[in-house]
Amino acid sequence: MRRFTDDLKESAGEQWIRVINHKFTKEVASGTIDRKVLTRYLIQDFQFLDAFVILLASVIANARNLEDRIPGCQFLAVITGAENTYFDRSLRKLLGDSHENVMKDMPTHACTSNFIKLMLDVSRHGTLGEMLAVLVCCEWSYLSWAQIVLNDMNRVDFECFEWVDLHSGEHFEKVVDYIRGLLDREAALMDQEMKDKCKERFLEAVQLEESFFDNAYDV
E runs forming strands in the chain: none
pLDDT tens for 120-154 read 999 999 999 999 999 999 999 999 999 999 988 99
CB 179, CB 103: distance < 8 Å: no
Please give the Cα distance from 57 to 188 (Å, whole number). Answer: 23
CA-only gyration radius of the chain, Å: 17
CATH number of the domain where residue 126 is located: 1.20.910.10
- Tens digits of residue pLDDT in 21-65: 999 999 999 999 999 999 999 999 999 999 999 999 999 999 999
Higher-scoring residue by pLDDT: 14, 104: 14
DSSP 81: I
16 exposure class (CB count in 10 Å sphere: 0-12, 13-18, 19+): buried
The pTM of this model reads 0.95
Per the structure, the complete domain to which residue 198 belongs is given by 4-215
Looking at residues 69-85, what average pLDDT do you find? 94
**How far is 167 from 153, CA to CA, in rounded Å?**
13
Q: How many CB atoms are closer than 10 A to CB 202?
A: 27
Separation CA 12–CA 24 (nearest Å) = 20
Q: Is 63 left (phi over 0), alpha (psi -120 to 50) or beta?
A: beta
- Contact criterion met (CB below 8 Å) for 201 and 130: yes
Give the count of domains, the chain: 1
